[in-house]
Structure 1
Amino acid sequence: MTETAPPPDRSRRTRARLAARTLRTDRWWVGPLLTALGLAAFVGYATVRVFQQDHYWVPEYHYLTPFYSPCLSASCAPGSAVFGTLPWVFPWFLPYALVSLPFLLLFRFTCYYYRKAYYRAFWQSPPACAVREPHAGYTGESRLPLLGQNLHRYFFYVAVLISLVNTYDAAAALAHGVGLGGLILLANVVLLWCYTLSCHSCRHVIGGRLRSFRKHPLRYRLWTWVSALNSRHMLFAWITLGTLVLTDMYVLLVSSGTIADPRILH
């Protein structure tokens, strides 16, 4: 009898073995480098602003930066806490938007696109196609802490609720008259909705687990719309990082008196 080889042990996963550091001849490192710089710049700016606890509210026009929405500290500026506050003053190391920010960060951190971006840019897993990886072993997202990436679908539901809060903020600003700041808040929230609804989890919620779209024409129509947005998910992921910074910076400048807000309709 001919002996058969034993099945491979799939419990031990190894990286692809390349004899050379890379088989690429182009500047493959530019993409991961720019991604790392872009993400680091956003995280750095957002961290400073979240813990600054100042210049986040313009009472005359009802401008509230997304980084502080909803404002929950008892020390929030008068009028900024439209949904009420908790009965204590937050210390400096707690963000005023204590409820929303952690979930928004987790929603982005576990996003399918952002996983690809920071895996390559920071963890170098992999840094690029046909480039040797520095890690000997590979467990994927089957073990802690990366096992928590599977919670992305649940963070999506919270992100939808927070997007509704941001929508209220933009609508409240426009209800106090139309100014450049109100239009910036509106544009930001529209793009945030595009990013949120283009999420893979949203696509699964609408069209997943259906045996046939024939019996669900409305869900099929919604699924096609979300699928069209999904094809631009990476684009919205980067655009919204920029609009969040732009919106926050504009509110900061108006709130601090550095610039005046041009009014279009009073």
Structure 2
Amino acid sequence: MKNTSSFLATARLILLLSVSLLGFSAFAQSIQFEYDLKITADPAKRAAYLKQSGDAPSPYEQVFNLVKGSMSVATIVDKVDLRKDQYHINSTGTLGSVLATVLADQKLLRDSVGSVTKDGFLTNTYQEKRGNTELLIARVEKNLINFYKVSSRTPPVGSAPFTGHLMDMLTVGYQFMGRDLPAKSIALPVTDGRSLKTYTLVRGEPWDFPFDGGKVRAIRFYKTTSKDDTASFEVWFSEKEHVPLRSVIGLNAQYGATIQVDLKKIPAI
């Protein structure tokens, strides 16, 4: 009888664990997005700016100097892991074979973790490393975003007061998965690991977007610019899945470059 009770207790425990794991699996999802990154650059324009300003180019900027006109330079793979109330996005940008050889196989590494809410992804920690530059870290700690270099165990190199909904350069693109696209302009607080900026994205025109041998209906959202912030940004979200089909970043005038990122295929969501 004692053995029977022990057996039943063990069976109940196994059953509870199984139900728990089934529930966890029901809310777990991993989606992979693959993009082609193209750069249009004017190296002479950048060189002239550096000469005039006296600034030194960053190591990762070498890629701009190797681009002649417009060319595909890298593949970006984003892995989006979703749980019931958490997300983790890991992104790796790998240079094409020729540039990888010249630039010693430098990569663009980005990582974002945080919570999933009814209002979208809420960033807790964002990390970014461009080639052989220092690792940048932005972390929400109480009512501050603290910025670190190399390690968050060292004192922060800067901070910004913050309350509310924080996004980063990764979550902006996936912010509307499972939610309606905004019907009008929206203001998004975004961190790039160095600072906090507010992007105002204006809802633009719909377009039958040429994609993967056919056409996909998409909605354009674009960032407003000003005299103090000349960098442009636009993203085309698919009307059905609300994922980014194309993102275009026009860097500040002193860089003389535009970055275009195109999704290769819409994954099953």
TM over 0.5: no
Between structures 1 and 2, the one with greater strand share: 2
Higher relative contact order (CA closer than 8 Å, sequence separation 6+) = 1
Between structures 1 and 2, the one with greater helix share: 1
Q: TM-score, normalising length from structure 2?
A: 0.28
Q: TM-score, normalising length from structure 1?
A: 0.28
